[in-house]
Amino acid sequence: MANRVTLYIDGGNFYHLALKKMGVQEPAFDFEQFAHFLADGRGIAPMGKRFYTGTVRERAGDPRTVEAMSRQNKLFSALIANQWELKTSKLRERKEAITIDTRVADYKKLQKMGVREITFTRNREKGIDVKIVTDLLIGAMDDKYDTAIIVSSDTDLIPAIDSVRYRFKKKVEYVGFSIEDKMDNENSSRPTLGLTARTDKQRILVESDLAPFIKTENQD
């Protein structure tokens, strides 16, 4: 019996839960070989490799954004060359504040200096979960796949997963991660229980599972 798979990779989620903790930038990761690893011998459906991410915007006078855009353009070029479907969303800037209290290292020293709060700007993806949900449902309704492989730990996907499984009788696999954050163990990646309980199959990957897909310096 045919088993067509479609992969839904939440790029930002994957980066923060796995690659960042391994010290790997996205262009150095072979997503094409990773896709075939996840398919595990099954046929990937037409337009069945889907990558979702927020787009970086260059800010005048900020070399970090220039470097980030360069990395993202390199990633996008590699994905497009291998017939991936790219779904993007603008990153939105949001100001956030940290109160200087017992949760902050050296908080007493900072308080003595008169520092009570630190304000910073953080980029947040908007709408990525909606795009994944839409594609999951449309793909199921149009019978474009038999199994959806979801590389995301976003629990906002659960209602769509339930519909795909129970209404459209499709299988859903959850790919999660168990990866240690060497700088902060409390920030280590762990699989999401909600997705583990609401999917047909679960694959929890560790660092050694991902290591073979890291490109060497002489690889494109």
CA distances from 42 to 45, 51, 177 (A): 9, 19, 22
Q: What is the pLDDT of residues 151-198, one digit of tens each?
A: 999 999 999 999 999 999 999 999 999 999 887 787 899 999 999 999
Alpha-carbon span 148 to 171, nearest angstrom: 6
Task: State the pLDDT at residue 113.
Answer: 74
Q: What is the pLDDT of residues 69-96, one digit of tens each?
A: 889 999 999 999 999 999 998 655 555 5
pLDDT at 219 over 70: no
DSSP 214: B
Segment 205-217 shows an average pLDDT of: 92
pLDDT at 33 over 90: yes
Q: Which residues pair with 175 in a beta bridge?
A: 203
Task: State the pLDDT at residue 206.
Answer: 96
- Residue spans of the domains in the chain: they are 5-92+123-213
Alpha-carbon span 7 to 94, nearest angstrom: 30
Alpha-carbon span 118 to 97, nearest angstrom: 6
Q: What is the pLDDT of residues 176-188, one digit of tens each?
A: 999 998 877 878 9
Q: What confidence tier does 218 reach under pLDDT thresholds 50, 70, 90?
A: very low
Side-chain-facing half-sphere of 5: CA atoms under 13 Å: 20
Structure tokens at 170: 């499709």
CATH of domain 5-92+123-213: 3.40.50.1010
pLDDT at 44 over 90: yes
Nearest to 157 by CA among 181, 169, 175: 175
Q: What is the mean pLDDT of the chain?
A: 88
Q: Which of 46-60, 95-109, 122-136 has the highest mean pLDDT?
A: 46-60
Task: State the pLDDT at residue 84.
Answer: 98
Q: Residue 87 is inside which H or E element, if any?
A: strand 85-99
Alpha-carbon span 56 to 73, nearest angstrom: 10
Residue 50 near residue 8, CB atoms below 8 Å = yes
Phi and psi dihedrals of 124, rounded to 5? -125, 135
Q: What is the pLDDT of residues 124-142, one digit of tens each?
A: 556 799 999 999 999 999 9
Note the pTM of the prediction, 2 decimals. 0.82
Residue 192 near residue 176, CB atoms below 8 Å = yes
Alpha-carbon span 105 to 113, nearest angstrom: 14
Nearest to 113 by CA among 121, 104, 126, 122: 104
Residue 77 near residue 113, CB atoms below 8 Å = no
pLDDT at 112 over 50: yes
What percentage of the chain's residues is helix, strand, coil (to nearest 5)?
40, 30, 30
